[in-house]
Amino acid sequence: MQIKSPNFKENARIALHNVELQEALGQFKYGFPVNRANAIKRLPEFDDLRDEARDLKNHIIENLDIYLEQFESKVIENGGHVHWCRTGDDANKAILDICKQVNAKTVTKGKSMVSEEINLNDYLEKNGVQPVETDLGEYILQLRDDHPSHIIAPAIHLNVNDVSETFHKHHKRPKTEDPQALMKEAREVLRKQFVSADVGITGANFLVAETGSSIIVTNEGNGDLTQTLPKTHIVITSIEKVVPTLEDMSLFLRLLARSATGQEFTVYNTLSTGPKREDDQDGPENFHVVLVDNGRSEMVGSEFQDMLRCIRCSSCMNHCPVYGAVGGHSYGWVYPGPMGSVLTPKMIGIDKAAHLPNASTSCGKCEEVCPVRIPLPKLMRHWREKEFEKHLTPKAVRFGIASWAFFAKRPAIYRWLSRGSAWFISTLAGKKGRLKKLPLAGGWTDWRDMPAPQGKTFMDQWKAKQKAGE
Amino acid sequence: MSRAEILGNIRQGLGRQEATAEQRDKALARIAAHKATIIPKRSQLDRKGQIELFREMASGAAAELIDLNELAELPSAVSTWLKQHDFKSLVSASDACLNELDWSPLGDIQREQRIAQSGDVASLTTSMAGIAETGTLMLYSRPESPTTLNFLPDCHLVLLKESDIVGSYEDAWNLVRQNNPKQMPRTVNMITGPSRSADIGQKLQMGAHGPCVLVIFILKDG
């Protein structure tokens, strides 16, 4: 998709004034986060599982080459093929080649964020292969020429009326605003696509080195029809998805559904291992795994290595106050929210994505809810440092930081100034103790009053307590 | 080309060359041992507890449960259910335990053993295991049980023997390994309730692309 991350501020401004989006986001915060909290209450081991998952992911990264090679050898042993792709272009070409080999005209697609990352749909279409998204949300977006605003609930920014109009326009059927009827309509229309597609493309939530299997996790069953009905199944996924064993995969599955939608378990967890067997009556005759790197291998050993633990549950964005206010499209690329603010600069460059790691209140909620305990605020800070080093930070901000650093390095002046400004602000505030306006702080006071400092500064109180021997 | 570059980058990041034989053997030994990680206590119950938990979790996931005292009751139970819903046909798996039953109670309902096709209203399969932890069925593909039966029809009817209910996913994986010692089946399906989606206006609706209804016929231990 087209990169719009450099316009984050403008995107966010528009999003904040978009009434329908705000309505959807308002509803959203009572969905996934509440369900997650309830699911965790029912599983006392949840935090222990998170620790174990973090350690296991670290072990996998330490042995990533070994597990990937083992996975590859098992896929081949099962009669499948593995395509290693350094870049998005390599992956697109590999997939198109497979499609050409089987003379594919149409492909059905399960949900895959990696395919969004590499612009697979555009590439296939330009080369004469028609992709059909089958995840309900992705299907709606494809009809609208739109893009996901969330990694597991792609059409979260749309309301029932939007879907109703879209279906009416494309399906040429009587208009309805009943969600059940709309879903039935999509089910009927897509049935024909499932059955007639030449190739099915799915993503993978995990790859199992022990068995050479890929697994997809879906609630709709679209991924299953996508990978079962066509003669060729292509799995497009990224290198960090590999896990050693089925037991290890089970650990992540226990965390994934609960962290994502708050379900105990997703409806369909489906393992695919190679093409159909000699006596099988259905299933694909060809099984391909397209392993995409796209910058991930360079994260190994870097300050961003922890990000490779991500299992794409979306919990960080579900709980993020910034995502909750501006929605996913404001981030301007494929991955929104805190995980996106770490990944996007790596994939499209910090020069284009510098706003994203700054679009954080550093409240720490993302790290608190991450099932593999990725220190997301720390990783965003690393990007801010890189932005500063590369002189991408605006002049006013650099001036502000430099001024602050000047005083911070001179504690006596710093404390004197703090004391002075605390006194000045509290005098301005008067008896009410609150300010309606404050120079240079319009961003705050336009929306709420600024509480004035009360009493002495922290350092003065500290000194007084030290003296009193407390 | 890409392969060497990707693996080279990873190794460079890890600060080492290609893994030594010792490092590789250690990772492969870990795979061979396939040790379980933490298994939630909730699934470590006695038989009765596991069965109860399975029922509770499967119902919680919106599966419909129907009890059978003996296997011979299955055809009439299936027939009753299909007639209640005014369905005239059934596409079925061909496991031996299903084939040896007397299907005459179906009457006019047409029963075929084949892969599923678009338009099929109901399918019947068996299930290798029921996993109590989350009320999950585990099915796997084989000539007698084509995968399309699990996904294409509007309603999926599944026979589950109480004796096949296990506590955790790990117990079920061990069964898959036992049943398929040479090679994993092409596909293993873990199914927890009927298909659903909340992609339209954040409103959860049942019956997205997979079956709209999941009925589990639970056969009591003899």
Question: Cβ A244–B30 below 8 Å, yes or no?
Answer: yes
- CB-nearest to B6 from A239, A244, A251 is A239
Give dist(CA A410, CA A398) in Å, integer: 19
Q: Is the pLDDT of residue A470 over 80?
A: no
Pick the CATH number of A64-297 from 3.40.50.10420, 3.40.449.10, 3.40.720.10, 3.40.50.20: 3.40.50.10420
A140 vs B contacts (CB less than 8 Å): 199-200
Question: Cβ A68–B189 below 8 Å, yes or no?
Answer: no
Distance from CA of B159 to the nearest CA of A (A): 18
- CB-nearest to A247 from B6, B37, B189 is B37
Q: Which pLDDT belongs to residue A192? A: 93
Q: Is B102 exposed, middle or buried, given 0-12, 13-18 or 19+ CB atoms closer than 10 A?
A: exposed
Give dist(CA A320, CA B165) in Å, integer: 40
- Chain B residue with minimum CA distance to A299: B13
Whether the CB-CB separation of B156 and B149 falls below 8 Å is answered with yes
Q: Is the pLDDT of residue A307 over 80?
A: yes
Segment (H or E) for A130: strand A130-133
Whether the CB-CB separation of A272 and A203 falls below 8 Å is answered with no
Whether the CB-CB separation of A354 and A345 falls below 8 Å is answered with yes
Give the domains, in start order, of chain B with CATH numbers.
Answer: 1-34 (no CATH), 44-219 (3.40.50.10420)
Distance from CA of A6 to the nearest CA of B (A): 29
Q: Which pLDDT belongs to residue B106? A: 96
Q: Which pLDDT belongs to residue A433? A: 87
> First CA to last CA across chain A, in angstroms?
60
Domain range annotation of chain A: 1-30+318-393, 64-297, 401-467
Segment (H or E) for B101: none
Which segments within chain B are labelled E, that is strand? 64-68, 89-92, 110-113, 122-126, 129-131, 136-140, 155-161, 165-166, 187-191, 196-197, 205-206, 213-219
Beta bridge partners of A450: A435
Whether the CB-CB separation of B186 and A272 falls below 8 Å is answered with yes
Distances (CA, A) of B160 to A231, A287, A416, B192: 31, 30, 76, 13
Q: Which pLDDT belongs to residue A437? A: 85
- The helix/strand/coil state of A293 is coil
Q: Which pLDDT belongs to residue A447? A: 85
Question: Cβ A280–B142 below 8 Å, yes or no?
Answer: yes
Distances (CA, A) of B158 to A29, B66, B93, B117, B138: 36, 10, 10, 18, 11
Give dist(CA A335, CA A140) in Å, integer: 19
Whether the CB-CB separation of A42 and A264 falls below 8 Å is answered with yes
Q: Which pLDDT belongs to residue A136? A: 96
Question: Cβ A63–B34 below 8 Å, yes or no?
Answer: no
Distance from CA of B146 to the nearest CA of A (A): 6
Closest of A227, A339, A308, A305 to residue A273, by C-alpha: A227
Q: Which pLDDT belongs to residue A75? A: 98
B185 vs A contacts (CB less than 8 Å): 273, 277
Q: Which pLDDT belongs to residue B68? A: 98
Question: Cβ A85–B2 below 8 Å, yes or no?
Answer: yes
Mean pLDDT of the region A138-167: 96
- Chain B residue with minimum CA distance to A87: B2
Lowest mean pLDDT among A298-312, A346-360, A395-409, A428-442: A428-442
Q: Which pLDDT belongs to residue A193? A: 94
Mean pLDDT of chain A: 95
Distance from CA of A360 to the nearest CA of B (A): 26
Whether the CB-CB separation of A99 and A123 falls below 8 Å is answered with no
| DSSP secondary structure string for all residues of A222-284 | HHHHHHHSSSEEEEEEEGGGEES-HHHHHHHHHHHHHHHT--SS-SEEEEE-SS--TT-SSS-
Compute CA A391 distance to the chain's CA centroid, rounded to the nearest angstrom: 27
Question: Cβ A156–B202 below 8 Å, yes or no?
Answer: yes
Q: Which pLDDT belongs to residue B87? A: 97
| DSSP secondary structure string for all residues of B137-167 | EEEE-BTTB-THHHHSSSEEEEEEEGGGEES
Whether the CB-CB separation of A300 and A62 falls below 8 Å is answered with no
Give dist(CA A228, CA A272) in Å, integer: 9
Q: Which pLDDT belongs to residue A62? A: 97
Q: Which pLDDT belongs to residue A298? A: 97
Question: Cβ B192–A266 below 8 Å, yes or no?
Answer: yes
A410-464 pLDDT per residue, tens: 999 999 999 998 898 888 888 888 888 888 888 888 888 989 888 888 988 999 9
Q: Is B22 exposed, middle or buried, given 0-12, 13-18 or 19+ CB atoms closer than 10 A?
A: exposed
Question: Cβ B2–A86 below 8 Å, yes or no?
Answer: yes
Q: Which pLDDT belongs to residue A4? A: 96
Q: Which pLDDT belongs to residue B129? A: 98
pTM of the model: 0.94
Mean pLDDT of the region B121-149: 98
Question: Cβ A228–B114 below 8 Å, yes or no?
Answer: no
Distance from CA of A204 to the nearest CA of B (A): 14
A43-96 pLDDT per residue, tens: 999 999 999 999 999 999 999 999 999 999 999 999 999 999 999 999 999 999
A192 vs B contacts (CB less than 8 Å): 118
